[in-house]
Amino acid sequence: MRRLATRTVLFHQAAAQSLGLFPTDLKSADLLNELGPLTAGELSEKTGLSSGAVTALIDRLEKAGYAKREKDPKDKRRVIIVPLTAGKSQVKELFQPLSASTKQLTNEYKREELDLIIQFISEAAEIMEQELQLLKSKS
């Protein structure tokens, strides 16, 4: 797990760098794609970044064309950060070789083996999320 985590962090560092972004920017764009539009406050909560850091992050995402600040159609007083398709496809392209290699790896496993692996990885992701919130609450 630790070896995978190290390579994951380094891979995302290199991937973000190749797009002129920080790793957190890339993963925040990913979070927006995964969860849909969020407010700056929600993005701060999800990423564990301070509100100042999130403001700078949204500025970079806007500049790079990955997201856009918009008035919430449901509540005009709220500003939401909306992921943009252009950035999405660029990120997708960057991760395409990794996705393909991972898909090839999964082909070597049986359905029931994959179910088990997916269950473990989902639980590990859940733990990582809890630990992130814990770490954030301490700082």
Applying CB under 8 A, which residues contact a second copy?
1-15, 17-18, 23-24, 26-27, 30-31, 34, 46-49, 94, 97-98, 101-102, 105, 109, 113, 116-117, 120-125, 127-132, 134-136, 138-139
Minimum CB distance to a second copy, residue 126 (Å): 8
- For residue 68, the minimal CB distance to a second copy (Å) is 21
The whole-angstrom separation of Cα 35 and Cα 121 is: 19
Question: Measured from the CB of residue 106, what is the shortest distance to a second copy in angstroms?
Answer: 8
What 90-93 contacts at long range (C-beta under 8 Å, 24+ apart), as own/partner pairs, is 90/19, 91/19, 91/26, 91/29, 91/30, 91/33, 91/66
Separation of alpha carbons 137 and 29, rounded Å: 23
User: What token pair was written down for 12?
Assistant: 């995302």
| Nearest to a second copy of 78, 109 (CB atom) | 109
